[in-house]
Structure 1
């Protein structure tokens, strides 16, 4: 079975998009998704995105991290899909309904309202999510925000100096986070401007993370560090995040198509069902 794919990226956070809105695909396993994502023996990507029909909205978007785990939301992928779809739409995700609209060179996405309570993150036990009384090495007193998937945000003097390669996996898998967590370190670089690095749950260090930028902006606004419109600079480039308490999050930034191709489904489904 030959299957077409579209390779896309948002600020270097790259995706293999499978469009199953008109032609259904076989069931997708974690092994299959991780085989596609493998940069040595597969197509290579941070996330595999599958578009499917939806009874409620224009279509459904499913998101598989490079380790094969299926997750709730991905802001960069949503912008890429908006570019691919070509018109304003509401789409279904495991993290809720998202509204997207193509813009020049990318898209603007309504990411919904952030979830701020401890059991909405979720955490293993109750605590203040604005100043969490926990720490790992030099990283202490983070903020927790769920924007369709869970994030913990540390504000530091210089985000580039934090060893996320070491601390990221420790925090991601800490028992405090029963669904694991995305780890963000941010520092101020100017008025209403943050620098951000992200250890992404199931993917590792990434050039860009749209939900991480949203969560970090919300955390900074809640702490009074920035205004309601924030530029977030990631290794791959800039995103603009707008949020006011009680409102939804608006994310605007670039996305691009890299190339298209085809693959044999059976080449990557080997081992499934064994």
Structure 2
């Protein structure tokens, strides 16, 4: 049996996408997914997504990490699956779809390669010494770091992800440097167990942490640079709650093929 697949990337965060609208999603082989995501012995990706039907939404997103395990919400994956749904003719300029953390609204450009994805509201940020910890659909740790360009994100991120506090459930570790007109962010992702070129829920967490750190309120727009390109975050913040949160950035088809 041949299966059509599509490879998408959002600011360098890359994914394998499969249209699974013709049959129910069941009997998933996690080892098969991990093999497909392997960069030497498979297609290579940070994760894999199935797009399925849902009676109350345009579609449903099922996201699996590169290790083959079912993942929490992936922001850049969400933007890519919206572009994929447009490519399939399921949606046009906007959509409401279901993900593991609940419903999401998104709008997409006419060209189909720029997606603005609404993320969940956030009402809690805690501190771990000088770092911030919050959940934007996935759990994130945000730490400030000077000379981030030359920082060993893999080694230091892995230490935090596997320390005695976070090792049981895992956490995504983000390092941020304030460059004045933008934030520079690098992320170690659980499930991938490596640094990725971008992390959508991660940059969302960073923008929120920075707003709290600077005591900013109102409608906030933040430009962020990651290894894979540029992303924009905007939200409303009243000093306690983050609402109307949007993750905005590119979502582009790289290639397609058959398994």
TM over 0.5: yes
Judging changes above 3 Å, is the alpha-carbon distance between structure 1 residues 115 and 42 closer, same or farther for their aligned structure 2 residues? farther
* Match runs of 1:68-83 below 5 Å: 68-83=68-83
Partner of 1:209: 199
Partner of 1:268: none
Partner of 1:235: 227
Asked whether 1:260 is paired with 2:256, we answer yes
* Selected match of 1:90 from 75, 93, 96: 96
* Match runs of 1:76-155 below 5 Å: 76-86=76-86, 87=92, 88-103=94-109, 104=111, 105-116=113-124, 129=126, 131-133=127-129, 141-155=130-144
Residue-by-residue CA offset, 1:22-79 (whole Å, 9 max, x unaligned): 2345521321210110111111111111111223311111111111121121111111
When the two structures are superposed, what TM-score results if normalisation uses the length of structure 2? Answer: 0.88
Residue aligned with 1:184, SS? strand
* Match runs of 1:36-51 below 5 Å: 36-51=36-51
Distance 2:234 2:108 in 1: 17
Distance 1:164 1:262 in 2: 35
Structure 2, gaps ≥5 residues long: 87-91
Partner of 1:219: 209
Cα root mean square deviation, aligned: 1.7
Question: Do 2:71 and 2:191's aligned partners in 1 also have CA atoms closer than 8 Å?
Answer: no
Distance 1:115 1:211 in 2: 15
More moved, 17-26 vs 61-70:
17-26
Residue aligned with 1:243, SS? strand
Distance 2:29 2:244 in 1: 33
Distance 2:216 2:2 in 1: 49
When the two structures are superposed, what TM-score results if normalisation uses the length of structure 1? Answer: 0.84
Distance 1:175 1:58 in 2: 41
Residue aligned with 1:242, SS? strand
Distance 2:163 2:215 in 1: 27
Residue-by-residue CA offset, 1:60-108 (whole Å, 9 max, x unaligned): 1111111112112111111111112222111111122111111253100
More moved, 38-47 vs 95-104:
95-104
Structure 1, gaps ≥5 residues long: 118-128, 134-140, 264-274
* Selected match of 1:197 from 176, 182, 186: 186
